[in-house]
Structure 1
């Protein structure tokens, strides 16, 4: 029996820093409001606050802390708010970013990459930087372009494409390059596997049911 070949590199992770910061703020706000109701509330108010926290906290975690993409030489793992998708590289047809980032499998199924949000503003800024670099180092830039090139032209010429593109676009390019390079590996074969995040769904659903019952009684 042969031992499966191990990935050459450990998992690389891609997460949204803005999402995590937003999650911390939302959790703090929920703890402030819900905690105050639990401490100072009376009668059903405490139960309603507890049910509300049971519903809201898992949803905050799901949409802010949970989303992530992990990738190594064998597969790509997409962790979205309510499910996790394991995609061996051989099953990945494309990774792309339009108005959102997504991975497309060989059978045409699409999965959104929640942890790689596309910022049109950042993309426009990257395009403007690229335009200024091209204008400053082009043959018809004139004296202003020459002076700019003397000061920053070397940095522009030496900059990699990663430095000139938006963050989401560069992440998608990295993932696409991994898919193309590793799809033929024996350990990168197989079909996608989807697992629902019951650790998020179960408490949120319980909180919702309890909240509905308390408000209806």
Structure 2
């Protein structure tokens, strides 16, 4: 048997695609986990040790409370990819190709505006007025330092001590996230792969148990 002088190279696996940037509220996650733990402790205790209708009332309450807590604390997230922006709000998931995004607005709430004019709030990126005031004070110190009126070059003394001067403008965390999303929008809105239609999906996996729990509570209340 003869062997070829050279073999064709083995096919190379496709290069890794960039992962989505994920934005969530850390405080919302922590609060949600604590509330779920408390609800589970009280509800399961009532179901196990309760008498009469108490276990059923506890079951109905859990079916209502748990989906609502998950919806407003654990579920919200924003996923920014190369081709689309995915917004996961309490009861809806919205997918917007960058080509269909008209703007990203930041006021008392953060929202994305589709070219159709429809607005979608970014629940996972809440606005902190306190954070904005803190960022404004740091930005004033940074500008004073750059103009030589801040005392000492290259260092900005914040509320808790000294620190290196930031390279760019100081923004609140939520405003920085919107700034980052706007940069992705500018870079990707005309890409061929970033075109398509806006899709909206309801979170029936949360709505259904909440409605069932509410119906159970109504029935139990009607029975007296």
What is the TM-score normalised by the length of structure 2? 0.86
Q: Secondary structure at the match of 1:200?
A: helix
Aligned 8 A contact 1:137 1:146 in 2: no
Q: Aligned match of 1:12 in 8, 13, 21?
A: 21
Q: Which has the larger radius of gyration?
A: 2
Q: Aligned match of 1:122 in 131, 153, 171?
A: 131
- 1:215 Cα deviation (Å)? 1.3
Q: Determine the C-alpha separation between the residues in 1 that align with 2:33 and 2:133.
A: 28
Q: Could you say which structure has the higher helix fraction?
A: 1
- 1:45 Cα deviation (Å)? 0.4
Greater relative CO (CA pairs within 8 A, separation 6+)? 1
- 1:8 Cα deviation (Å)? 5.0
For 1:1-217, list aligned pairs within 5 A. 8-139=17-148, 141=149, 145-147=150-152, 149=153, 151-152=155-156, 155-156=164-165, 158-161=166-169, 164-217=170-223
Long gaps (5+) in structure 1: 1-5
Aligned 8 A contact 1:7 1:74 in 2: no
Q: Determine the C-alpha separation between the residues in 2 that align with 1:187 and 1:7.
A: 17
Query: Cα RMSD (Å) of the superposition?
Result: 1.9
Which aligned runs of 4 or more in structure 1 are off by greater than 3 angstroms?
Answer: 150-154
Long gaps (5+) in structure 2: 1-14, 158-162
Q: Secondary structure at the match of 2:164?
A: helix
